[in-house]
Structure 1
Amino acid sequence: MVVNRLRLTIFSIITTQLMPFKEALECMVGEYKVDGQCCPTCHPGYRVHETCSLMTGTTCVPCDPGTYTAHQSGLKDCLQCKVCDPAFGLVTRRECSPISNTVCGCSPGYFCTNMKDDDCEMCVAHRVCTPGQYVKSRGTERNNTICEKCQAGTFSPNGTLGQCLPWTNCTAQGLFEEKPGTDTMDTLCSMQGNPPLGFIGTPIIIIIIIIIVTFVITVISIIMIFVRRKKNRERG
């Protein structure tokens, strides 16, 4: 009984004395600290299956599909591969491998709002320029579209043009300006000045009447010719 107590006391003293050395232990490159000892790390693409002992080294096993380790480590579990979620405008640029994570990029028409190295965390749809604007700079995977307003004397009907179009100069073409241009619509020109509202359709109506009268006269003339010929035959 006394011997056992003595052994326990000696073990406690030794453990207490060694504790500072255990805490101050620093491992070399290629090792990791576990349970007060330094064990060899596992290579990229592997994880720790069993830690080392005084008699054996670290036992490493390959990462399961869908997981990875990019560096030498003492991880017992490989890291989960990232999924590029289409709901955030993401597409897969590079598939995950045992030694590298998935790399995501943006779908066409989207740009990245949170880029880390070459990997994108979230994408947003490019700005759409509206009528009256032109596309100063088209969007890329890293930058949004830049829109600018049309300057006076120019217009953009749909907002997709690389530059606004100048208004048509009606006078220079020998035409009359029927309606001035806006930032979304060109100047409207006509062959003649605007007539009074009550006479806008008069020329067309007159032309139609002339055509109808001419047609009626022609038909009547043809009928009369046939009638005369018929009477002449009967007399003869």
Structure 2
Amino acid sequence: MFYLLKTSAIALLFFIHKACSECNHAQYEIDGKCCSMCSPGTHVYKHCGKDIDTMCVDCAAGTFSDQPNGVIKCRPCTACDEGLGLKTVKECKPSSDAVCGVLEGNYCIDSYEGGCRAAQKHTTCKPGHFIKHPGTDFTDTVCENCPENSHSDGFSTSCTPRIDREPKGLPIDTPEDNVSDPNSGSKSLVLPTSVIILVAVVAVVVVIMMIAVAVAVVYLKRKK
């Protein structure tokens, strides 16, 4: 009985001591002391002392603290790496972290609190497939096969019906159809200008020679 009372008394004293020594929600405990927390955007420069309250300083560039704290160093800002398909949509401030979004042509594969930690490129549909659902910032592109007798280059949201090159019931042109018939009277033979001039010159020369021969014959007859 005495042992039970002794144990209960010790436990009661322990809880009373703990309750009296617990820090409130605006304080943090260090070395058995309750020190005032630093506000968001700052961190502890020097813990509180016997007669001195906590000394706080602003977060350094590239760091932040978004909660009341008792830390001696602010957290590094998140870097939005373009090489990972990310871009900065909200700059880092002393009291808030940066927020990353996705670059065009990518979608988020690891999201958090309206931001994104990692992204991946949208799937590119292959020829013969069409885009059933275009990719968004948070979903990948969905591709689907084109129906029979249709095609797509893979970049369209629909397929194009195939058109027969030789429609039924229509005559098919052959190379012979495009060659003119030399005996056909529908087209006249057109000689080049140079040929016409050459023929005219030859004709004139022949006429002159005939005249010269005739004159020579007459002259010889009279001389006899």
Q: What TM-score, normalized to structure 1?
A: 0.69
- Of 76, 82, 89, the residue aligned with 2:85 is 89
| Distance of 1:90 and 1:146 partners within structure 2 | 21
1:22/1:55 Cα in 2 relative to 1: closer, same or farther (>3 Å)?
Answer: farther
Q: Which amino acid aligns with 2:49?
A: S
| Distance of 2:68 and 2:109 partners within structure 1 | 31
Deviation at 1:83, TM superposition (A): 1.2
- Percent identity for Structure 1 against Structure 2: 28
Structure 2 partner of 1:132:
128
1:108/1:217 Cα in 2 relative to 1: closer, same or farther (>3 Å)?
Answer: closer
Query: For 1:171-213, what per-residue CA distance to the aligned partner results, in whole angstroms no more than 9, with x for missing partners?
Result: xxxx536xxxxxxxxxxxxx7448xxxxx65555x55999xxx
Deviation at 1:58, TM superposition (A): 1.0
Deviation at 1:52, TM superposition (A): 1.6
Q: Tell whether 2:97 aligns with 1:106.
A: no
Query: What SS is found at the alignment partner of 1:144?
Result: coil
Query: What SS is found at the alignment partner of 1:60?
Result: strand
What residue ranges of structure 2 are gaps of 5+ in the alignment?
1-12, 184-188, 213-224
What residue ranges of structure 1 are gaps of 5+ in the alignment?
1-16, 178-190, 195-199
Query: For 1:141-180, what per-residue CA distance to the aligned partner results, in whole angstroms no more than 9, with x for missing partners?
Result: 2111111111113211x2111111122266xxxx536xxx
- Of 135, 141, 144, the residue aligned with 1:148 is 144
- Of 21, 35, 42, the residue aligned with 1:39 is 35
- Of 138, 148, 165, the residue aligned with 2:160 is 165
| Distance of 2:136 and 2:120 partners within structure 1 | 11
Q: Tell whether 2:66 aligns with 1:70.
A: yes
**Greater Rg over alpha carbons, structure:** 2
Query: For 1:85-108, what per-residue CA distance to the aligned partner results, in whole angstroms no more than 9, with x for missing partners?
Result: 222111111111100111111111
Superposition RMSD on alpha carbons, in Å?
3.2
Structure 2 partner of 1:61:
57
Q: Is the 8 A contact 1:136 1:148 kept in 2?
A: yes
Q: What TM-score, normalized to structure 2?
A: 0.73
